[in-house]
Structure 1
Amino acid sequence: MKKRSIYDPTTQIYSSPRPPLQLPADQNTSLTDFLFRSAASHPDSVALIDAESGETMTFHQLRFHVSRMAHNLQTKLGVSKNNVVLIVAPNSIHFTVCFLAIVSIGAIATTCNPLYTVGEMSNQISDCNPKLIITVPQLVDKISDFNLPLILLNNGTSDSSSKSDKNDVFCRYSDLIGEYSEAAAAAGAEEFEFPADVKQSDTAALFYSSGTSGKSKGVVLSHGNFMATSRMVTTDQDELEEPKGVSLCFLPMYHIFGFAVSTYAQLRRGNAVVAMERFELEKMLRSIERYKVTQMFVVPPVMAGLAKAWPAISQSFDLSSLTLIFSGASPIGKDLMVDCAKNLPHVNILQGYGMTEACGVISGEDAREGNRHSGSSGILCPGVEAMIIDIETFNPLQPNQIGEIFFRGPNVMQGYFNNDEATKQTIDDEGWVHTGDIGYFDEQGQLFVVDRLKELIKCGGFQVAPAELEGLLLSHSEIVDAVVLPYPDVKAGEVPIAYVVLSDPKSLLSEANVQDFIAAQVASYKKLRRVKFVDQLPKSPTGKTLRRELIAQLRSEAEEACMQTHVEPKSS
């Protein structure tokens, strides 16, 4: 691959060394159009596979189902351009059909975690005001009180819900798409033409941010954003002229990583996608073996599980088909990357960086470039530019200087839904997204994400990066998971403390042992003041530690301790 400039000292902008991004010149192109134009060359190839049942859907069948669903959303259910349709369901091959059908007619798809409480769902529903909800029978009782029309994704009768009569419309997915047959397709049953007035700049979806550090916000993503991401994710495969592969998706499709990166981008390239309802290590391994999976996108806990269960995995499952594991959502320590690479020497184990506001991707490692286990998040994706900005002076920084990561490109969100103030705080007048992440580029253009700006611990005038200490903790042979958080301190303002999960509950590792282990490797102000041992850390569905939950507990604990300290003695 011929390199172009990575860092321009004149503008102090970092650019991608990857080939230029190729997107359709026709602005009247939806993400559904983009997918099926690519699929026209391989209509009989398998597009989707249900991991549990083995049910398959070719690209031709996928287009048939999407077309029928889109037609009936318009004609039977009255869904029109810019209406919002909410999908509340676990992964399935039908989830993808529904999403593509919604956006193909210019409506807006929004997704929601099926595990949300009624209160959490209510916040999102109040914000985006969906016209109807697509869900599964098991969730109807939870959703019915919203009094919105429902579409059920799978069959069932009386066990579906006792509350279905509350809804204006209660129909089944199977009734909307009908039965696929070669005869029906040949007779023109799929002749519904997708609307020509859906543009790349039109809103396709609202993906709500995880809210790991605050209230969840609706991220507005256009058709063009998804198309750009699909090219960015698969550029390296195309450059290497790799054959069409099989991608395993157990990441939740209601999350941007699960849908835009792990599903849509793979389908657009012609890869088959195996849909798992949820992640379970043994089921994942069985699916890799059964369907000859060639690649999968993961989050750090999956990598940790692979490392921990080795060598038993190699003795029970054939993983020889696997060629690529790509990890995202949060950084992985170099030691864990090296351990997994040692166990799977035939697999490229890469790491990337992205966010919902970037439609899933900003950078990714390239196995052809240098040391692939360097702990970096790789080089910028094609079409993406970045700057590193000093958090105090706000001046651009050179390679190997740490600051806030700014980026811009065709994958940048349109803004936050119904939240102009948050949009202005995140995207500046020149189109730069202020990520709130701290990091740096080296001379080769490799991006290293150090921590979240808001998560830096301000200790006695110094800044402590939790990710640095977490990486050290995870390098300990008896520690399998850890998080470092700020704890209020009268003198220092904040001090770092750690929550630690031991690999063996019977371990004799003590708080003092852990503190000494860290103290031997860091400056004095970075020393851990306390260590708490826990069975597990609270996680989001994509594997991010829910820091705000733990920080709230710590603040409450600190306030309680402060109150007890200042209690007046009782008079005798």
Structure 2
Amino acid sequence: MMGFPQLSLVPLVGLQYLTHSSTLLSSPWPLASGLQQMGISQGDVVLLLLPNSIYYPIAFLGVLYLGAIVTSMNPLSSVAEIKKQIADTKACHAFTGPENADKLQALGIPAILVPENALSGSLKDIFSVFYKLIYSRCYLALRPVIKQRDTAAIMYSSGTTGVSKGVMITHRNFIATVAHFVRFEASQYEGSSLDNVYLAVLPLFHIYGLSLFVMGLLSLGSRVVVMKRFDVNEVIKAIDRYKVTHFPVVPPVLTALTKRANDSLAPHSLKSLKQVSCGAALLSMKTIEDFVQTFPHIDLIQGYGMTETTAVGTRGFNTEKLRKPSSIGLLAPNMQAKVVDWNTRSPLPPTSTGELWLHGPGIMKGYLNNAKATLSTIDEEGWLHTGDIVFFDEDGYLHLQDRLKDAIK
């Protein structure tokens, strides 16, 4: 049974705001209607140039509900970077914060200003358009017919070549992310997802944060505490104050948390934390050992996914009898994988090292305006060539070794 999602924002000044779950569930629909009245229609591209915010899911889901397409960016991007992505995607409108309003105005892109948190009084004035959109009682004049193969988002990734490209992600891909990444993982553990509290410091404009916090966890009814940016001291305060149980991270965050705990930590600090999951890059054995020694009560897992797979790939899973925090986990449901010799492209048996190929419902539609790069990444049978060197052990756990371009130098 689906619960009611909640999001809290924890700015670095120490204040926090909680959105009412009914607002979160209902706001995307009137927002979609308002965008339609502003002239945005199915297939148009809307830029989300936003930091982490409790309103990020509302803007994202509102655009998708209209049948329009989201393209996201780091809000710290330069004018040149923004201009390039707008030109590539043909974005016609944007959601952004006040700090980027002038950049978009100079580029001729109409922008809707979005607050970081719930505001009151005169501060609401500059965000009046956004508030009018999410609190209006308007509904779509004509509900678009959206197909699973339709593009839902264009996310940028360096992919397997190191050159940034627009990854076209479909509605089907996002359904796979919610079902086979987030919801399946939750089903492997005892207890209700309604009791879980997640801390979001990962950027919501990247596929990892987007998959977890903007879509997946909301479908479970878990509570999400949102931080605008990472600060290790504020992270510890947020974990203790909100009784955070799950903390998805990247390696530098995990390292900083371990170091901070070893420097000095209150006796009862971080005791609510049950699991830390790490992705985006491989953890060294020393980093793993240091963390496990420092936090023996916390379940440490790693996972693997790419923007091109909509974050669907593998997830770690430890049991009392089998603990493998150094692996990147077990293959997600409905995903196929094979390890191939990178010279002959012949499949290799378990424990052999080779390039990882993936096939399944999370695989992207292709690269935007780049058929050559698409054909070099996804073959005629639909296998995505990841460029990562891996092996499967005797228990079916995947282990990441290297990047192909580094291994063959």
Q: Normalising to structure 1: TM-score of the pair?
A: 0.66
1:212–1:136 distance in 2 versus 1, CA, 3 Å: farther
In structure 1, the residue matched to 2:369 is 418
Q: What one-letter code is carried by the residue in structure 2 that aligns with 1:118?
A: V
What CA distance in whole angstroms lies between the structure 1 residues aligned with 2:270 and 2:143? 43
- The offset of 1:433, in angstroms, is 0.2
Question: For each residue in 1:37-76, what CA deviation from the matched residue of structure 2 results, as whole angstroms up to 9, or x when unmatched?
Answer: x64xx3xx3421112342222432112211221110111x
What CA distance in whole angstroms lies between the structure 1 residues aligned with 2:48 and 2:312? 23
Among 6, 19, 34, the residue aligned to 1:57: 19
1:361–1:211 distance in 2 versus 1, CA, 3 Å: closer
Q: What one-letter code is carried by the residue in structure 1 that aligns with 2:266?
A: Q
- In the TM superposition, what are the counterparts of 1:231-242 in structure 2 within 5 Å? 231=179, 232-242=181-191
Q: Is the 8 A contact 1:86 1:132 kept in 2?
A: yes
- In the TM superposition, what are the counterparts of 1:264-413 in structure 2 within 5 Å? 264-315=215-266, 318-368=269-319, 371-413=322-364
Q: Is the 8 A contact 2:246 2:275 kept in 1?
A: yes
What CA distance in whole angstroms lies between the structure 2 residues aligned with 1:330 and 1:193? 45
Question: For each residue in 1:88-118, what CA deviation from the matched residue of structure 2 results, as whole angstroms up to 9, or x when unmatched?
Answer: 0100011111001000111001101112111
- The offset of 1:133, in angstroms, is 1.1
1:394–1:276 distance in 2 versus 1, CA, 3 Å: same
1:176–1:316 distance in 2 versus 1, CA, 3 Å: farther
1:198–1:317 distance in 2 versus 1, CA, 3 Å: farther
- The offset of 1:456, in angstroms, is 2.2
Residue 173 (structure 2) pairs with residue 222 (structure 1) = no
Q: Is the 8 A contact 2:176 2:312 kept in 1?
A: no
What CA distance in whole angstroms lies between the structure 2 residues aligned with 1:293 and 1:192? 38
Among 203, 206, 212, the residue aligned to 2:151: 203
For residue 93 of structure 1, give the secondary structure of its aligned residue in structure 2.
coil
What CA distance in whole angstroms lies between the structure 2 residues aligned with 1:291 and 1:210? 36
What CA distance in whole angstroms lies between the structure 2 residues aligned with 1:350 and 1:148? 42
For residue 221 of structure 1, give the secondary structure of its aligned residue in structure 2.
strand
What CA distance in whole angstroms lies between the structure 2 residues aligned with 1:417 and 1:157? 43
Among 62, 87, 91, the residue aligned to 2:48: 87
1:141–1:196 distance in 2 versus 1, CA, 3 Å: closer
1:240–1:72 distance in 2 versus 1, CA, 3 Å: same
Q: Is the 8 A contact 2:5 2:220 kept in 1?
A: no
For residue 23 of structure 2, give the secondary structure of its aligned residue in structure 1.
helix
In structure 2, the residue matched to 1:136 is 97
What CA distance in whole angstroms lies between the structure 1 residues aligned with 2:174 and 2:366? 15
The range that moved more, 213-222 or 272-281, is 213-222
For residue 208 of structure 1, give the secondary structure of its aligned residue in structure 2.
strand
Query: Larger Cα Rg: Structure 1 or Structure 2?
Result: 1
In structure 1, the residue matched to 2:6 is 47
What CA distance in whole angstroms lies between the structure 1 residues aligned with 2:287 and 2:331? 23
For residue 309 of structure 1, give the secondary structure of its aligned residue in structure 2.
helix
Question: For each residue in 1:432-487, what CA deviation from the matched residue of structure 2 results, as whole angstroms up to 9, or x when unmatched?
Answer: 000011111112111111111112253xxxxxxxxxxxxxxxxxxxxxxxxxxxxx
Q: Is the 8 A contact 1:150 1:171 kept in 2?
A: no
Q: Is the 8 A contact 1:285 1:317 kept in 2?
A: no
- The offset of 1:366, in angstroms, is 0.6
Question: For each residue in 1:212-245, what CA deviation from the matched residue of structure 2 results, as whole angstroms up to 9, or x when unmatched?
Answer: 9632111111112112111222313223342121
Q: Is the 8 A contact 2:42 2:144 kept in 1?
A: no
What CA distance in whole angstroms lies between the structure 2 residues aligned with 1:218 and 1:235? 28
Q: Cα RMSD between the aligned structures?
A: 2.5
Question: For each residue in 1:180-200, what CA deviation from the matched residue of structure 2 results, as whole angstroms up to 9, or x when unmatched?
Answer: xxxxxxxxx476699361222
Q: What one-letter code is carried by the residue in structure 1 that aligns with 2:105?
A: S
Q: What one-letter code is carried by the residue in structure 2 that aligns with 1:452?
A: R
What CA distance in whole angstroms lies between the structure 1 residues aligned with 2:299 and 2:393? 22
What CA distance in whole angstroms lies between the structure 2 residues aligned with 1:391 and 1:289? 47
What CA distance in whole angstroms lies between the structure 2 residues aligned with 1:455 and 1:171? 51
Q: Is the 8 A contact 2:302 2:325 kept in 1?
A: no
Q: Normalising to structure 2: TM-score of the pair?
A: 0.91
1:74–1:309 distance in 2 versus 1, CA, 3 Å: same
What CA distance in whole angstroms lies between the structure 1 residues aligned with 2:376 and 2:165? 13
What CA distance in whole angstroms lies between the structure 2 residues aligned with 1:131 and 1:338? 49
Count of residue pairs the alignment pairs up:
399
What CA distance in whole angstroms lies between the structure 2 residues aligned with 1:369 and 1:452? 32
Residue 134 (structure 2) pairs with residue 177 (structure 1) = yes
- The offset of 1:430, in angstroms, is 0.9
Q: Is the 8 A contact 1:365 1:372 kept in 2?
A: no
Q: Is the 8 A contact 1:219 1:415 kept in 2?
A: yes
Q: Sequence identity of aligned pairs in percent?
A: 38
1:419–1:112 distance in 2 versus 1, CA, 3 Å: same
For residue 205 of structure 2, give the secondary structure of its aligned residue in structure 1.
coil
For residue 82 of structure 1, give the secondary structure of its aligned residue in structure 2.
coil
Q: What one-letter code is carried by the residue in structure 1 that aligns with 2:7?
A: L
Gaps of at least 5 residues in structure 2 are: none
In structure 2, the residue matched to 1:261 is 212
- The offset of 1:283, in angstroms, is 1.3
For residue 310 of structure 1, give the secondary structure of its aligned residue in structure 2.
helix
1:208–1:59 distance in 2 versus 1, CA, 3 Å: same
What CA distance in whole angstroms lies between the structure 2 residues aligned with 1:210 and 1:304? 24
In structure 2, the residue matched to 1:148 is 109
- The offset of 1:156, in angstroms, is 11
